[in-house]
Chain A
Amino acid sequence: MPTNTLNGYSFEVDNEGFFEDREQWSEDLARELAALIDINLTDEHMKVLKFARDDQAQTGLTPTLNRMNKTGGFVVKDLFALFPGKPAKKIAWLAGLKKPTSCV
């Protein structure tokens, strides 16, 4: 299992860089990670990340965009604005969660 270090933080990741252990995540670390992909984490961003983490804690699954919309009440277009390009994946990564997957 590779370990990433970033500005004094150290956390275990899978081969694609997603967190292995969600407990190694922190808000400050999320800010550092966001800077790497040119996102300046605002309160709006953080609200999304916190929802994703709370939801995952409850269901065991990283929420999909559809679930962010239905359960979290976020507008998908806004998520695209906040996390441009691939919001589902970026949210998962910045929230310290696994990427959304299928069974295979």
Chain B
Amino acid sequence: MDDLSVKTGKRVVVLGAGSAGTMMVNKLRTRLPDEWQVVAVDRDNAHMYQPGFLFIPVGKYKPSRVVHSRKKYLLPGIDFVEAAVEKVVTAENKVYLSSGQAIEYDYLLIATGTQIRPDLTEGMADGALWFKKVFEFYTYEGSVALRRALEEFEGGKVVVHVTDMPIKCPVAPLELSFLIDDYFRKKRIRHKVDLTYVTPLDGAFSKPVASRELGNLLDDRAIRLRPDFAIDRIDNETQELVGYDGTRIPFDLCITTPLNTGQDYVFASDIGDESGFIPVDKHTLQSTDAPNVFAIGDATNLPTSKAGAVAHFSSEKLIENMVGLMLEGKQPAERFDGHANCFVESGRGQALLLDFNYDTQPLTGTYPLAHVGPMKLLGRSRLNHMGKLAFEKMYWGLLMRNRKNPLPADMQIAGKKWEE
């Protein structure tokens, strides 16, 4: 690797080459003149298609299918540095790598996402049952291990659990519950499985319209709901989740969603909040601490879902904000509205489609065209499920290739059935 510790020309550094980082580094390379050096940093060369983690445990995806080369999706003219980050010192405009080397930058974009922290709940990562009877599905290793556990499972109490918000892709645990219901039904042992969804929120669906439209979905699938559960610890001897109020939830197999925080290096940096997320202006994505630093995706403290769709829609605003500031000194003026949409697997070959932003909860209606659809919002359909499956091709073929995506970045009210 060249010595990047001192700049000779102009340089922008992007930390993280996952969904958000890859989209942005490609946009930056395309928009910036050659005199700008564009550097991408990631600790490895394995770009995971994270929605696939949902399909690995239930045998629908082979594990190898979700792993691609990061480099393969970076445009020519991007310098890729494969190294772990030790810390960012914005006061010096430098990123320090764990190798001891430093990278000096003019502008920095943080796109290093979130990580699960099973070590922050007593009896989770440090318990004897971890990866034996207590699993997660937010990592490659976790989803593969869970696949084996489900294969061997013959019946008993299965608990799908969320520790506390925020979590990456907040509906994923619910989707997994529906897919597991299908999975055991196909194995013809559903009647031997007692499936419970455990959440710290007051319901599986916490937004009013969604809750009204979808509230009976769990009942339909004979999935029990345990709302308002705040976990204190996991009792590995009795195989129970223990709440702060002393209530206990027994399990034979627990699929938990651990607490999420930003990456370790953020805690060692002079930027980032107590949970390791980067505070940014929720419309411009500019750091509230350093004007030449931006952040995107799960790594931020944006008051919306940690989801790829948020990264994708916000990237179209962020690129204008960054390039305007970098080339013309223009203050960021493009405003992201918090738009997200996602397909939610509801099992039985169907999915739901959600579309929302900072101010508007998921509503019923059609998408992307008013009255025409063809997708149905907040209702189950086979077409939505096909959309979810087809998204994998769109992800690798369009989004990660810097090809124009046809969907508008701002949320559209047309097509939605408006209600307060």
Contact = CB atoms under 8 A, between A and B. Distances in A.
Interface in A67-90: 67, 70-71, 76-77, 80, 84-89
| Chain B CB within 10 Å, residue with most, of A61, A65, A77, A101 | A101
Contact of A60 (B205, B274, B303, B342): B303
A71 B273 contact: yes
B208 A14 contact: yes
Given A76-B230, A86-B202, A99-B202, A64 B171 contact: no
A5 B273 CA distance: 38
A6 interface: no
Given A1-B420, A80-B245, A99-B202, A86 B228 contact: yes
A76 B259 CA distance: 15
A103 B305 contact: yes
A101 B200 contact: no
B207 interface: yes
Nearest to B243: A80
Nearest to A104: B210
A87 B230 CA distance: 9
A64 to B, nearest CB: 5
A71 B274 contact: yes
B200 A64 contact: yes
Contacts of B282: 60
A49 B200 CA distance: 19
Interface in B261-284: 273-275, 282
A66 B275 CA distance: 10
A11 to B, nearest CB: 16
B274 A70 contact: yes
B420 A102 contact: no
B208 A76 contact: no
B356 A103 contact: yes
A102 B171 contact: yes
Given A59-B303, A80-B245, A104-B205, A89 B228 contact: yes
A15 interface: yes
Interface in B181-233: 200-202, 205-208, 210, 214, 228, 230, 232
A59 B304 CA distance: 10
A25 to B, nearest CB: 19
A64 B165 contact: yes
Nearest to A14: B208
Interface in A35-57: none
B244 A80 contact: yes
Contacts of A14: 208
Given A76-B230, A88-B200, A99-B206, A104 B344 contact: yes
Contacts of A104: 170-171, 205-207, 210, 214, 344, 354, 362
B164 interface: yes
Interface string B228-248: 101010000000000011000
A81 B244 CA distance: 10
A100 B354 contact: no
A56 to B, nearest CB: 9
B307 A103 contact: yes
B177 interface: no
B274 A102 contact: no
A52 to B, nearest CB: 14
Given A60-B303, A64-B165, A66-B259, 7 more contacts: A66-B164, A71-B275, A102-B171, A102-B207, A103-B356, A104-B207, A104-B362
15 contacts: A59-B303, A60-B358, A64-B166, A67-B274, A67-B275, A85-B245, A89-B202, A89-B228, A99-B202, A100-B201, A102-B207, A103-B342, A104-B170, A104-B206, A104-B344
Interface of A: 1, 14-16, 59-61, 64-67, 70-71, 76-77, 80, 84-89, 99-104
